[in-house]
Amino acid sequence: MSAPAAYPAELEQPVVLRDGRRVHLRPVRPDDAPALCALYDRLSVRTAYQRFFTVMRRLPPDWARVFATVDYRRRLALVAEAVVDGEPALVGVGRYEAGQTDPTPEVAFVVQDGWQGQGLGTVLLQSLIRAGAARGYRRFRAYVLAENAPMLGLLARFTAVRESRLEDGVRVIEFEPR
């Protein structure tokens, strides 16, 4: 793994959702690992399954450390942070990661249930694609459960889908920025 690039503060942005709630979009930091575990704890079983294709009682702390430690180039994650009950909390995450041998980064997203349907997934997708394009990525891949209509619709509406195939109940989608 290459040394991390400097924290990309230019990716930070305030976002106002459809219902008027505000979130702060920013790159993930290593100290976000506990907040990623807390976000997982607040996900419904269905949302957790749609993101991870399995249900775990909790997000393993070592996974959270890996998810929170990125190089801001080949591996990048953006978090949506909101003030909930007077405290900052992560309510959404979007990430991409390019493999060692495959230059097409895989993207993945999750939005906490009570924050879905307000445009946050769209903001995460568009911001992540812009960040990836600025880092030289022209094509992305997503693995989406075939039953996850909201995510499939999001990709169809806001990206240029170049390939879509079904593999064992999972839709593999190759897409480019529109």
* Boundaries of every domain in the chain: 9-137
- The pLDDT-based confidence of 73 (bands split at 50, 70, 90) is very high
Answer whether residue 139 shows pLDDT above 80: yes
Q: How confident is the model at residue 4 (pLDDT cuts 50, 70, 90)?
A: low
Q: For residue 81, what are the β-bridge partners?
A: 24, 90
Of all residues in the chain, the percent with pLDDT exceeding 90 is 68
pLDDT category of residue 137 using cuts at 50, 70 and 90: very high
What integer pLDDT is reported at residue 99 of this predicted model? Answer: 86
Please say if the pLDDT value at position 31 is more than 90. yes
Helix (H, G, I), strand (E, B) or coil at 160: strand
Write the single-letter amino acid at 176: E
The beta-strand segments (E) located in the chain are 13-16, 22-27, 75-84, 87-97, 106-111, 140-145, 159-167, 170-177
Is residue 48 packed enough to be buried (19+ CB in 10 Å), middle (13-18) or exposed (0-12)? buried
The closest of 38, 30, 126 to 82, measured between CA atoms, is 38
Instruction: Tally helices (H) and strands (E) across the chain.
Output: 5, 8
CA dist 27 and 161 (Å) reads 26
**Res 64: pLDDT:** 87
CB 58, CB 43: distance < 8 Å: no
For residue 146, how far is the Cα from the chain centroid? 18
Band (pLDDT 50/70/90 cuts) for residue 121 is very high
> Cα separation of 75 and 87, whole Å?
28
Task: Name 130's Cβ contacts closer than 8 Å, sequence gap at least 6.
Answer: 177
User: Does domain 9-137 correspond to CATH entry 3.90.230.10?
Assistant: no
